[in-house]
Amino acid sequence: AQKVTQAQTEISVVEKEDVTLDCVYETRDTTYYLFWYKQPPSGELVFLIRRNSFDEQNEISGRYSWNFQKSTSSFNFTITASQVVDSAVYFCALSAPYNTDKLIFGTGTRLQVFP
Partner 1 sequence: DTEVTQTPKHLVMGMTNKKSLKCEQHMGHRAMYWYKQKAKKPPELMFVYSYEKLSINESVPSRFSPECPNSSLLNLHLHALQPEDSALYLCASSQVSGTGTFMDRGYTFGSGTRLTVV
Which residues lie near partner 1 (CB under 8 A)? 31, 33, 35, 37, 42-45, 47, 50, 91, 95, 97-98, 100-103, 105-108
Q: Rounded to the nearest whole angstrom, what is the least distance from the CB of residue 106 to partner 1 in the complex?
A: 7
CB of 100 to partner 1, least distance (A): 8
Q: Give bridge partners of residue 91 from the DSSP assignment.
A: 37
Q: Whole-angstrom distance between the N-terminal and C-terminal Cα of the chain? A: 41
Identity of the amino acid at 40: P
Of 14 and 99, the one with the shorter C-beta distance to partner 1 is: 99
**Of 86 and 91, CB closest to partner 1:** 91
Least gap, CB of 39 to partner 1 (angstroms): 9
CB 37 within 8 A of CB 21: no
Q: Smallest Cα–Cα separation from 70: which of 110, 10, 23, 21?
A: 23
* Least distance between partner 1 and beta carbon 92 (Å): 10
Q: How many CA atoms lie within 13 Å of 66's alpha carbon, on the beta-carbon side?
A: 21
Is 47 or 114 the residue whose CB approaches partner 1 more closely? 47
Distance CA 92, CA 20 (A): 13
Nearer to partner 1, 19 or 106 (CB): 106
